[in-house]
Amino acid sequence: KAGVTQTPRYLIKTRGQQVTLSCSPISGHRSVSWYQQTPGQGLQFLFEYFSETQRNKGNFPGRFSGRQFSNSRSEMNVSTLELGDSALYLCASSYLAGGQETQYFGPGTRLLVL
Protein backbone atom coordinates (compact mmCIF):
# COMPACT_ATOMS: atom_id res chain seq x y z
CA LYS A 1 0.00 0.00 0.00
CA ALA A 2 1.20 3.52 -0.67
CA GLY A 3 1.89 5.61 2.41
CA VAL A 4 0.40 8.92 3.43
CA THR A 5 1.20 11.55 0.84
CA GLN A 6 1.31 15.29 1.34
CA THR A 7 1.54 18.04 -1.22
CA PRO A 8 3.30 20.29 -1.67
CA ARG A 9 6.43 19.28 0.24
CA TYR A 10 7.75 22.83 0.49
CA LEU A 11 6.03 26.17 0.35
CA ILE A 12 7.07 29.79 0.76
CA LYS A 13 4.43 32.43 1.44
CA THR A 14 4.36 35.98 2.72
CA ARG A 15 2.53 37.37 5.72
CA GLY A 16 -1.17 37.91 5.14
CA GLN A 17 -1.47 35.32 2.41
CA GLN A 18 -3.40 32.09 2.76
CA VAL A 19 -2.26 28.57 2.05
CA THR A 20 -3.90 25.20 1.40
CA LEU A 21 -2.11 21.94 2.13
CA SER A 22 -3.27 18.55 0.90
CA CYS A 23 -3.09 15.08 2.40
CA SER A 24 -3.99 11.72 0.89
CA PRO A 25 -4.33 9.00 3.53
CA ILE A 26 -3.45 5.37 3.14
CA SER A 27 -6.13 3.56 1.18
CA GLY A 28 -8.90 2.39 3.50
CA HIS A 29 -8.02 4.79 6.32
CA ARG A 30 -10.91 7.03 7.21
CA SER A 31 -9.33 9.13 9.94
CA VAL A 32 -6.98 11.98 9.05
CA SER A 33 -5.24 14.16 11.63
CA TRP A 34 -3.10 17.25 11.19
CA TYR A 35 -0.19 18.33 13.39
CA GLN A 36 2.12 21.32 13.45
CA GLN A 37 5.77 20.85 14.38
CA THR A 38 7.93 23.80 15.38
CA PRO A 39 11.27 23.88 17.21
CA GLY A 40 9.75 25.80 20.11
CA GLN A 41 6.44 23.99 20.62
CA GLY A 42 7.20 20.52 19.28
CA LEU A 43 4.41 18.50 17.71
CA GLN A 44 0.96 19.96 18.33
CA PHE A 45 -2.40 18.57 17.33
CA LEU A 46 -4.46 20.73 15.00
CA PHE A 47 -7.57 18.70 14.16
CA GLU A 48 -8.87 15.30 13.13
CA TYR A 49 -11.40 14.37 10.50
CA PHE A 50 -13.33 11.13 10.25
CA SER A 51 -15.85 10.40 7.52
CA GLU A 52 -15.86 14.05 6.40
CA THR A 53 -16.62 15.35 9.92
CA GLN A 54 -14.27 17.10 12.29
CA ARG A 55 -14.02 14.74 15.24
CA ASN A 56 -11.44 16.49 17.40
CA LYS A 57 -9.87 19.92 17.48
CA GLY A 58 -6.73 21.29 19.09
CA ASN A 59 -6.07 24.74 20.52
CA PHE A 60 -5.34 26.70 17.38
CA PRO A 61 -7.00 29.92 16.23
CA GLY A 62 -9.80 29.92 13.69
CA ARG A 63 -7.33 30.89 10.95
CA PHE A 64 -6.53 27.19 10.82
CA SER A 65 -9.26 25.13 9.22
CA GLY A 66 -9.62 21.86 7.44
CA ARG A 67 -11.94 19.58 5.61
CA GLN A 68 -12.18 16.02 4.43
CA PHE A 69 -13.62 14.75 1.21
CA SER A 70 -15.66 11.62 0.54
CA ASN A 71 -12.53 9.79 -0.62
CA SER A 72 -10.92 10.58 2.77
CA ARG A 73 -8.44 13.04 1.27
CA SER A 74 -8.05 16.07 3.49
CA GLU A 75 -7.02 19.66 3.07
CA MET A 76 -5.83 22.15 5.63
CA ASN A 77 -6.11 25.88 5.14
CA VAL A 78 -4.35 28.67 6.99
CA SER A 79 -5.58 32.18 6.33
CA THR A 80 -3.87 35.50 7.05
CA LEU A 81 -0.49 33.86 7.51
CA GLU A 82 1.79 35.03 10.33
CA LEU A 83 5.53 34.56 10.68
CA GLY A 84 4.89 32.13 13.53
CA ASP A 85 3.00 29.81 11.20
CA SER A 86 6.32 28.73 9.71
CA ALA A 87 6.47 25.06 10.58
CA LEU A 88 6.39 21.49 9.38
CA TYR A 89 2.77 20.45 8.92
CA LEU A 90 2.22 16.73 9.28
CA CYS A 91 -0.76 14.71 8.28
CA ALA A 92 -1.49 11.28 9.69
CA SER A 93 -4.04 8.63 8.83
CA SER A 94 -5.10 5.85 11.13
CA TYR A 95 -7.12 2.67 11.32
CA LEU A 96 -8.33 0.41 14.10
CA ALA A 97 -7.54 -3.30 13.96
CA GLY A 98 -7.49 -5.93 16.66
CA GLY A 99 -8.28 -3.33 19.29
CA GLN A 100 -5.18 -1.34 18.48
CA GLU A 101 -5.17 1.90 16.57
CA THR A 102 -2.15 2.59 14.42
CA GLN A 103 -1.38 6.02 13.06
CA TYR A 104 0.86 6.63 10.06
CA PHE A 105 2.39 10.00 9.29
CA GLY A 106 3.19 11.54 5.96
CA PRO A 107 6.51 13.27 5.23
CA GLY A 108 5.06 16.69 5.96
CA THR A 109 4.80 20.04 4.21
CA ARG A 110 7.39 22.57 5.26
CA LEU A 111 5.88 26.06 5.21
CA LEU A 112 8.01 29.16 5.42
CA VAL A 113 6.27 32.50 5.97
CA LEU A 114 8.31 35.59 5.10
Partner 1 sequence: DQQVKQNSPSLSVQEGRISILNCDYTNSMFDYFLWYKKYPAEGPTFLISISSIKDKNEDGRFTVFLNKSAKHLSLHIVPSQPGDSAVYFCAASATGTASKLTFGTGTRLQVTL
55 binds partner 1 (CB under 8 A): yes
- Give dist(CA 102, CA 114) in Å, integer: 36
Query: Of 60, 65, 68, nearest to 20 (Cα)?
Result: 65
Judged by CB under 8 A, the number of residues near partner 1 is 26
Smallest distance, partner 1 to C-beta of residue 80, A: 25
Does position 33 bind partner 1 by CB under 8 A? yes
Which DSSP symbol is given to 80? S
Max Cα–Cα distance, the chain, nearest Å: 46
| Residues near partner 1 (CB under 8 A) | 4, 31, 33, 35, 42-45, 48, 55-56, 58, 90, 92, 94, 96, 99-108
